[in-house]
Amino acid sequence: MTATDLARGCVEALIGVGLRHAVVAPGSRNAPLSIALADAAEAGVITLHTRIDERTAAFLALGLAKTSRVPVAVVTTSGTAAVNLHPAVLEAAHAGIPLIAITADRPARLRGTLANQTTDQVGIFASAAPTYDIVGEIELADALADLDGPVHVNLQFDEPLLPTDVFVPATRQPERAPWHQEEAEVLKQGPRTVVVAGDDTGPGPRLLAQGGGWPLLAEPTSGARNGPNVIRTYRLLLGTGLGDRIERVVVHGSPTLSRPVQRLLAREGVEVVSRRAQGRWADRPHPVSYEVTCPLAAEAPADTAWLDEWLAADRDLAARIDERVAAEPGLTPYEVAVEVHRAVPDEGLLVVGASNPIRDLDLMAGSYNVGGRRLIIANRGLAGIDGTLSTAIGATLGRPHTSRALVYVGDVTFLHDLTGLVIGGAEQRPDLTIVVANDDGGSIFATLEQGAPEYAGRFEKVFGTPHGTDLGALCNGLRIPHWRVRDRAELELALANPNGGIEVVEAVIRRDNRRALDAELRALIG
């Protein structure tokens, strides 16, 4: 089979599993596939994106897959290019995202020789993505069947690499399994129960909490942080007598944000009902009384006294937190989180960076209205700070009905994916507001053990990592509009007046008082 035939067969197999977007990083050995994908894009069958940095290309594909909910391919040449896909492949494996990592390779006969740009590409993603090492026959159907996570397709291309004609792919709609709503299992009333919703769980936890009259402890990217049962300050209330009285937790997905939730799930004497998480390694790191894969429903409660107690305590603590934050001079990270949360309209999309931004949102954001069809997402599979801007650009491009798209990150996270903003003039570009909470370093570490005074001498060097970068000058070089704000009113103004296209709103905040402020807010539980 020629390289061209292999490439074209691959494109048709990808289209056959529902692929609508592909991302290519330029290279020679992947030329057969790059050209076949370009032909398919020219024929209007797929949308093709190009990025020069393979790591950012893979996170762009991850974002596209997260919102379009169909497999997305990212394609590289051979050699070090291939392993630049690994961070996104790992995130896809732990989050259960159908990312197809396609690496071009030399023919197997050249492996182990001095042939140029030739290395061992089989198994480069280890257990995160099995390799299908394909030389001829299109065994791709097996590789691409029922993707619930990433897969690695390694294509051995032999010369001649270039086609002599133009390719118009056959388009066949993927066979879709008939959608069916699984029967829900009904949980009885009885123990004092709370419902925990981790990342990407959908509305199930909200419906269960409402049905059972139970407090809902939903992370911002759960898809369940809306409706009347949401407890905004749950991570602090878990440290009070209310938290001590919990007898049962119904946990959905993978909660990753706070140690109080982890401690609750591991607490002796607490019954844990688990709705199994998606992605790999879904076994929970604590004892589970009972685990299901089906939806959960609840027996109706006799009264809502337990829920009412939580809602009253939440209102009271939230008011005290808001009062303390308002009293703090200058723009605080907590106010940035509130304004970002407010800026997401119905049908809006928000991508949240790891570290403090998602935790500030978790503490400060109230419940959204049910039916607003907002999508709040993050790379919580492994909570990496890499590729967040690219994920956001891909997520926005993969969700064309989005009314407004924002991505909210810290400064180190922003800088970590700067190449995600290197986008060719002919590329699709979304309307996307990038909000950077800039405290000149990694402030989360200040809130952890290493933020204690005894580590002050070494802290800035290995944790704080101040960089002093002029984000405005960077954006200027990238030809991206940039607005630096230093107070809440200016931040509100900037968010209320989107520029169109990709824009950066840099909110300058302090880092030196982060540990103290965090401790003060935690102490408000009294």
Ligand X SMILES: C=C(O[C@H]1C=C[C@H](C(=O)CCC(=O)O)[C@@H](C(=O)O)[C@@H]1O)C(=O)O
Ligand Y SMILES: Cc1ncc(C[n+]2csc(CCOP(=O)(O)OP(=O)(O)O)c2C)c(N)n1
Q: Smaller CB distance to ligand X: residue 23 or 412?
A: 412
Q: Smaller CB distance to Mg ion: residue 409 or 495?
A: 409
Closest separation in Å from C-beta 384 to ligand X: 8
Q: Smaller CB distance to Mg ion: residue 192 or 467?
A: 467
Closest separation in Å from C-beta 259 to ligand X: 4
- Partner interacting with residue 30 (select from ligand X, Mg ion, ligand Y, none; CB below 5-8 Å by kind): none
Q: Smaller CB distance to Mg ion: residue 201 or 443?
A: 443
Residues near ligand Y (CB under 6 A) are 353-357, 383-386, 409-413, 439, 442-444
Closest separation in Å from C-beta 423 to Mg ion: 24
Q: Smaller CB distance to ligand X: residue 197 or 444?
A: 444
DSSP state for residue 100 in the 8-state scheme: E
CA angle at 34 for the pair 31 and 38, rounded to the nearest 5°? 135
Closest separation in Å from C-beta 94 to ligand Y: 13
- Partner interacting with residue 433 (select from ligand Y, Mg ion, ligand X, none; CB below 5-8 Å by kind): none
**CA–CA dist 198, 219 (Å, integer):** 6
**CA–CA dist 399, 403 (Å, integer):** 10
Burial class for 497, CB neighbours closer than 10 Å (0-12, 13-18, 19+): exposed
Q: How many CB atoms lie within 10 A of CB 269?
A: 6
**CA–CA dist 238, 240 (Å, integer):** 6
- Partner interacting with residue 258 (select from ligand X, ligand Y, Mg ion, none; CB below 5-8 Å by kind): ligand X
Q: Is 439 among the residues that bind Mg ion (CB under 5 A)? A: yes
Question: H-type helices in 347-410, by residue range?
Answer: 356-364, 388-397
Tell me which stretch binds Mg ion (CB under 5 A): 11-19, 145-153, 198-206, 406-414.
Answer: 406-414
Which of positions 357-386 make contact with ligand X (CB under 6 A)?
A: 359
Q: Is 258 among the residues that bind ligand X (CB under 6 A)? A: yes
- Measured in degrees and rounded to the nearest 5, phi and psi for residue 243 equal -65, -35
How far CA 339 is from CA of 70, 204, 355, 494, in Å, comes to: 32, 27, 18, 10
Nearest-CB residue to Mg ion?
410
For 179, residues 6+ apart whose C-beta sits below 8 A from its C-beta are none
Closest separation in Å from C-beta 493 to Mg ion: 23
- Partner interacting with residue 154 (select from ligand X, ligand Y, Mg ion, none; CB below 5-8 Å by kind): none
- Partner interacting with residue 206 (select from ligand X, ligand Y, Mg ion, none; CB below 5-8 Å by kind): none
What one-character-per-residue DSSP string does 292-328 give? ESS-EEEPPPS--HHHHHHHHHHHHHHHHHHHHHHHS
Sheet holding 72-76, edge to edge: 47-50, 21-24, 72-76, 99-105, 151-156, 131-134
Contact (Cβ atoms closer than 8 angstroms) between residue 215 and residue 235: no
Tell me which stretch binds Mg ion (CB under 5 A): 66-74, 245-253, 410-418, 516-524.
Answer: 410-418
Closest separation in Å from C-beta 358 to ligand X: 10
Contact (Cβ atoms closer than 8 angstroms) between residue 260 and residue 150: no
Q: Is 434 among the residues that bind ligand X (CB under 6 A)? A: no
Closest separation in Å from C-beta 383 to ligand X: 6
Determine the angle formed by the axes of helices 356-364 and 305-327, rounding to 10 degrees. 120
Closest separation in Å from C-beta 354 to ligand Y: 5
Q: Smaller CB distance to ligand X: residue 70 or 383?
A: 383
- Partner interacting with residue 386 (select from ligand X, ligand Y, Mg ion, none; CB below 5-8 Å by kind): ligand Y
Contact (Cβ atoms closer than 8 angstroms) between residue 510 and residue 439: yes
Q: Is 187 among the residues that bind ligand X (CB under 6 A)? A: no
Type and span of the H or E element at 90? helix 86-95
Q: Is 147 among the residues that bind ligand X (CB under 6 A)? A: no
Binding footprint of Mg ion on the chain (CB under 5 A): 410-411, 439, 443
Which parts of this chain interact with ligand X (CB under 6 A)? Answer: 258-259, 359, 444, 448
